[in-house]
Amino acid sequence: MKTSAKVVVIGGGVVGCSVLYHLTKAGWTDVMLIERAELTAGSTWHAAGGFHTLNGDPNVAKLQQYTVELYKEIEELSGVACGLHLTGGVMLAGTEDRMDWLKMAHAKGRYLGMHTEIISAEEAKKRMPLIDEKQFVGAMYDPLEGHLDPYGTTHAYAKSAKINGAEIVVRNRVLELNQREDGTWDVVTEQGTVHAEHVVNAGGLWAREVGRMVGLELPILAMEHMYLLTEDIPEVAEANKATGKEVITALDFEGEIYTRQERGGMLLGTYEKAAKPWSEQETPWDFGQNLLEPDLDRIAPELEVGFEHFPSYGNAGIKKIINGPFTFAPDGNPLVGPVRGLKNFWVACGVMAGFSQGGGVGLALSNWMVKGDPGFDVWGMDVARYGDYATLAYTNAKVRENYSRRFRIRFPNEELDAARPFRTTPIYDRLLADNAVMGESYGLEYPLWFAPKGEVAKDVFSFRRSTDFQHVGNEVNRVRNGVGVMETSGYAKYRVTGEGAEAWLSHILANKIPAEGRMVLTPMLNDNGKLIGDFTLAKLGAEEFLIIGSGPAEQYHMRWFEAHLPKTGVRIEALGLDLVGLSVAGPHSRVLMQKLTLQDLSSAHFPFMGIRKMDLGAIPAIVGRVTFTGDLGYEIWVKPEYQRALLNLIFKAGEEFNIGHFGLRALNSMRLEKNFGTWAREYRPIYGPLEGAMSRFVDLKKNDFIGRSAAAEEKANGGALRLVSFVIDANDADCIGDEPVWHDGKVVGWITSGGYGHSVKASIGMGYVPKELADKTDGFEIEIIGERRKAKIIREALFDPKGEKMRS
DSSP 700-760: TTSS--TTHHHHHHHHHH--SEEEEEEEE--SS----S-PEEEETTEEEEEEEEEEEETTT
- Determine the interface stretch with ligand FAD among 31-39, 407-415, 668-676, 789-797 (rule: CB under 6 A): 31-39
Between CA 346 and CA 374 the distance in angstroms is 12
DSSP 589-617: HHHHHHTT-SS--STTTS-TTBEEEEEET
**703: exposed, middle or buried (Cβ count in 10 Å: 0-12, 13-18, 19+):** exposed
Q: Does 174 bind ligand FAD (CB under 6 A)?
A: yes
Q: Does 210 bind ligand FAD (CB under 6 A)?
A: yes
Pairing state between β 185-189 and 174-179: antiparallel
Q: Does 84 bind ligand FAD (CB under 6 A)?
A: no
- Determine the interface stretch with ligand FAD among 9-17, 84-92, 402-410, 465-473 (rule: CB under 6 A): 9-17
Question: Which residue's CB is nearer to ligand FAD, number 190 or number 744?
Answer: 190
* Beta carbon of residue 225, minimum distance to ligand FAD (angstroms, whole number): 4
- Determine the interface stretch with ligand FAD among 313-321, 347-355, 413-421, 634-642 (rule: CB under 6 A): 347-355
Question: Which residue's CB is nearer to ligand FAD, number 322 or number 577?
Answer: 322
Please pick, from the candidates 108, 125, 208, 225, the single residue that binds ligand FAD as defined by CB under 6 A: 225
Q: Does 22 bind ligand FAD (CB under 6 A)?
A: no
The count of residues interacting with ligand FAD (CB under 6 A) is 42
CA dihedral 461, 465, 466, 469 (to 10 degrees): 140
Please pick, from the candidates 47, 513, 623, 751, the single residue that binds ligand FAD as defined by CB under 6 A: 47
* Beta carbon of residue 261, minimum distance to ligand FAD (angstroms, whole number): 13
No. of helices (H) and no. of strands (E), the chain: 20, 38
- Determine the interface stretch with ligand FAD among 29-37, 379-387, 522-530, 736-744 (rule: CB under 6 A): 29-37
Q: Does 750 bind ligand FAD (CB under 6 A)?
A: no
Residues 6 or more apart from 644 whose CB is under 8 A from it? 426, 427, 430
Question: Which residue's CB is nearer to ligand FAD, number 28 or number 355?
Answer: 355
Q: Does 381 bind ligand FAD (CB under 6 A)?
A: no
* Beta carbon of residue 303, minimum distance to ligand FAD (angstroms, whole number): 16
Residues 6 or more apart from 284 whose CB is under 8 A from it? none
* Beta carbon of residue 324, minimum distance to ligand FAD (angstroms, whole number): 3
- Determine the interface stretch with ligand FAD among 10-18, 78-86, 527-535, 559-567 (rule: CB under 6 A): 10-18
Residues 588-617 that bind ligand FAD (CB under 6 A): none
- Determine the interface stretch with ligand FAD among 80-88, 349-357, 473-481, 723-731 (rule: CB under 6 A): 349-357
Residue type, 602: S
Question: Degrees (nearest 5) of the Cα angle 712, 716, 717?
Answer: 120
Judge whether 521 and 514 are in contact, CB under 8 Å.
no
Residue 510 per-residue DSSP state = S
Q: Does 360 bind ligand FAD (CB under 6 A)?
A: no
Which residues on neighbouring strands pair with residue 637, listed in sequence order? 581, 622
- Determine the interface stretch with ligand FAD among 41-49, 83-91, 310-318, 604-612 (rule: CB under 6 A): 41-49
Judge whether 551 and 564 are in contact, CB under 8 Å.
no
Q: Does 324 bind ligand FAD (CB under 6 A)?
A: yes
Please pick, from the candidates 173, 212, 405, 495, the single residue that binds ligand FAD as defined by CB under 6 A: 173
Q: Does 12 bind ligand FAD (CB under 6 A)?
A: yes
Residue 683 per-residue DSSP state = B
Between CA 17 and CA 232 the distance in angstroms is 34
Please pick, from the candidates 24, 28, 32, 49, the single residue that binds ligand FAD as defined by CB under 6 A: 49
Question: Which residue's CB is nearer to ligand FAD, number 322 or number 710?
Answer: 322
- Determine the interface stretch with ligand FAD among 157-165, 321-329, 557-565, 580-588 (rule: CB under 6 A): 321-329
Question: Which residue's CB is nearer to ligand FAD, number 12 or number 306?
Answer: 12
Between CA 400 and CA 276 the distance in angstroms is 7
Crossing angle of helices 58-78/150-163, nearest 10°?
70
Judge whether 711 and 522 are in contact, CB under 8 Å.
no
Between CA 253 and CA 131 the distance in angstroms is 13
Please pick, from the candidates 326, 386, 726, 750, the single residue that binds ligand FAD as defined by CB under 6 A: 326
Question: Which residue's CB is nearer to ligand FAD, number 346 or number 642?
Answer: 346
Question: Which residue's CB is nearer to ligand FAD, number 336 or number 785?
Answer: 336
Please pick, from the candidates 84, 92, 131, 351, the single residue that binds ligand FAD as defined by CB under 6 A: 351
Residues 6 or more apart from 88 whose CB is under 8 A from it? 127, 141, 142, 143, 144, 145, 146, 248, 249
Please pick, from the candidates 5, 8, 9, 13, the single residue that binds ligand FAD as defined by CB under 6 A: 13
Q: Does 42 bind ligand FAD (CB under 6 A)?
A: yes
Q: Which three-class secondary structure state does DSSP give residue 620?
A: strand
Q: Does 203 bind ligand FAD (CB under 6 A)?
A: yes
* Beta carbon of residue 378, minimum distance to ligand FAD (angstroms, whole number): 16
Q: Which helix or strand (DSSP H or E) is residue 225 part of?
A: strand 221-230
Between CA 475 and CA 204 the distance in angstroms is 47
Please pick, from the candidates 31, 202, 664, 733, the single residue that binds ligand FAD as defined by CB under 6 A: 202
Please pick, from the candidates 101, 111, 307, 355, the single residue that binds ligand FAD as defined by CB under 6 A: 355
Residues of this chain that interact with ligand FAD (CB under 6 A) are 10-16, 34-37, 41-44, 46-51, 173-174, 202-206, 210, 225, 227, 322, 324-326, 349, 351-356
